[in-house]
């Protein structure tokens, strides 16, 4: 049964790619009858119609589309496993699928990926930018960068913690000149806050550290709530208020003087930054090389001294 399953996968995938039994038969050097019987046998075993036969072309059903994606992933994993075991395939190569958060992926990950791609020209990079949760197995992802403490992971996933964000309160020089620079937490809470708005409509509270070193989230009255961190940066640079931001996001603005840090002693650690990958892919040269490259990621760049002067 196991051998038959593998035998039926290739004819089915080839039919989808070629669009007809005849073209698939020519490509695989089989008869059209053999291809048709293989697909029929597969449909009977699965109990679902996978292909709709028209006069011009084969069309996938919904079940067929889902099965096709699974078959393609299986064939790719078999090819990758062969590349790991083959002694001459030690050079990182092939398609590498990576999922990263939107803004951090652009600002933090891309500067690492550019020299990585130059160093490994045989790698074909496929990069997904998304702040949603990405299922690595369902979407065929090789490595994902995640911001946030990972929940208990299954044994099938590898995980490496790269560090934590550093959070700072910041505002523009114009705003601080107009509204005054707060000298303590109580005064800070009276200022015009610009918060991040989550997808569910709630706002992200500010993070403080208690005297005994524990994180404490506090709800803040706000002037503005924005569902995009880049929009937050634009708003605080325009002098509309104060925001708590990760240093990786506002590092350039702090260096240029467009933003200044408020109450520099209040710099709690933010969310954890982690790498996650399917363990079965870790020995692939391309994945191993990428994991090594990520050791260069800068999570919380050093803050410019002039930004700390109040």
Contact assessment for residue 9 and residue 50, using Cβ atoms and an 8 Å cutoff: no
pLDDT of residue 55: 63
What is the 3-class SS of the chain, one letter each residue?
Answer: CHHHHHHHHHHHHHHHHHCCHHHHHHHHCCCHHHHHHHHHHHHHHHCCCCEEECCCCEEECHHHHHHHHHHHHHHHHHHHHHHHHCCCCCCCCEEEEEEECHHHHHHHHHHHHHHHHHHCCCEEEEEEECCCCCCHHHHCCCEEEEECCCCCCCCCEEEEEEEEEEEEEEECHHHHHHHCCCCCHHHHCCCCEEEEECCCCCECCEEEECCCCCEEEECCCEEEEECCHHHHHHHHHCCCCEEEEEHHHHHHHHHHCCCEEECCCCCCEEEEEEEEEEHHHCCCHHHHHHHHHHHHCCCCCCCCHHHHCC
Describe the crossing of helices 32-46 and 2-18 by its angle, rounded to 10 degrees: 120
What's the rounded Cα separation, in Å, for the pair 56 and 52? 11
What's the rounded Cα separation, in Å, for the pair 157 and 137? 10
Question: What residues does 53 pair with on adjacent strands?
Answer: 58
What's the rounded Cα separation, in Å, for the pair 127 and 146? 14
- Per-position pLDDT tens, the chain of length 310: 456 667 788 899 999 998 888 898 999 988 988 988 899 988 998 899 999 887 677 889 999 999 998 888 888 877 776 766 664 457 788 889 999 998 889 988 998 999 999 999 989 999 999 888 888 988 889 999 988 766 677 888 888 888 888 899 999 999 999 999 999 988 999 999 999 998 888 899 998 887 777 788 888 888 899 999 999 999 999 999 999 999 889 989 999 999 999 988 887 887 888 899 988 888 788 888 898 888 777 665 655 544 433 3
What's the rounded Cα separation, in Å, for the pair 142 and 44? 33
What's the rounded Cα separation, in Å, for the pair 251 and 301? 7
Residue-range domains of the chain with CATH: 2-85 (1.10.10.10), 94-164+271-296 (3.40.190.10), 165-269+304-308 (3.40.190.10)
What's the rounded Cα separation, in Å, for the pair 244 and 259? 12
């Amino acid at each position: 049964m196991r051998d038959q399953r593998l035998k039926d996968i290739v004819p089915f995938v080839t039919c989808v790619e070629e669009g007809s039994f005849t073209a698939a038969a020519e490509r695989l050097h089989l008869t059209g009858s053999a291809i048709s019987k293989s697909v029929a046998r597969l449909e009977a075993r699965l109990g679902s119609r996978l292909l709709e036969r028209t006069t011009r072309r084969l069309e996938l059903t919904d079940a067929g589309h889902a099965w096709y994606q699974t078959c393609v992933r299986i064939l790719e994993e078999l090819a990758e496993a062969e590349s790991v075991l083959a002694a001459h395939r030690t050079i990182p190569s092939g398609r590498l699928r990576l999922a990263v958060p939107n803004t951090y992926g652009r600002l933090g990950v891309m500067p690492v990926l550019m020299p990585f791609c130059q160093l490994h020209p045989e790698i074909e990079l496929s990069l997904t930018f998304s702040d949603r949760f990405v299922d690595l197995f369902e979407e065929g992802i090789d490595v994902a960068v995640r911001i946030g403490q990972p929940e208990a992971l299954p044994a099938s996933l590898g995980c490496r913690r790269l560090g934590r964000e550093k959070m700072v309160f910041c505002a523009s020089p114009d705003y601080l000149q107009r509204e005054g620079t707060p000298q303590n937490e109580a005064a800070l809470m009276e200022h015009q806050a610009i918060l991040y708005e989550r997808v569910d409509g709630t706002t992200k509270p500010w993070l403080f550290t208690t005297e005994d070193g524990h994180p404490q989230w506090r709800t803040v009255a706000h002037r503005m709530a924005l569902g995009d961190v880049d929009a937050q940066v634009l708003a605080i640079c325009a002098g509309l208020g104060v925001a708590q931001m990760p240093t990786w996001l506002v590092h350039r603005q702090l260096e240029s003087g467009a933003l200044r840090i408020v109450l520099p002693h209040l710099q709690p650690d933010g969310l954890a930054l982690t790498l996650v990958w399917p363990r079965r892919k870790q020995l692939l040269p391309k994945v191993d090389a990428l994991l090594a490259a990520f050791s260069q990621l800068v999570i919380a760049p050093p803050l410019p001294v002039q930004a700390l002067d109040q």
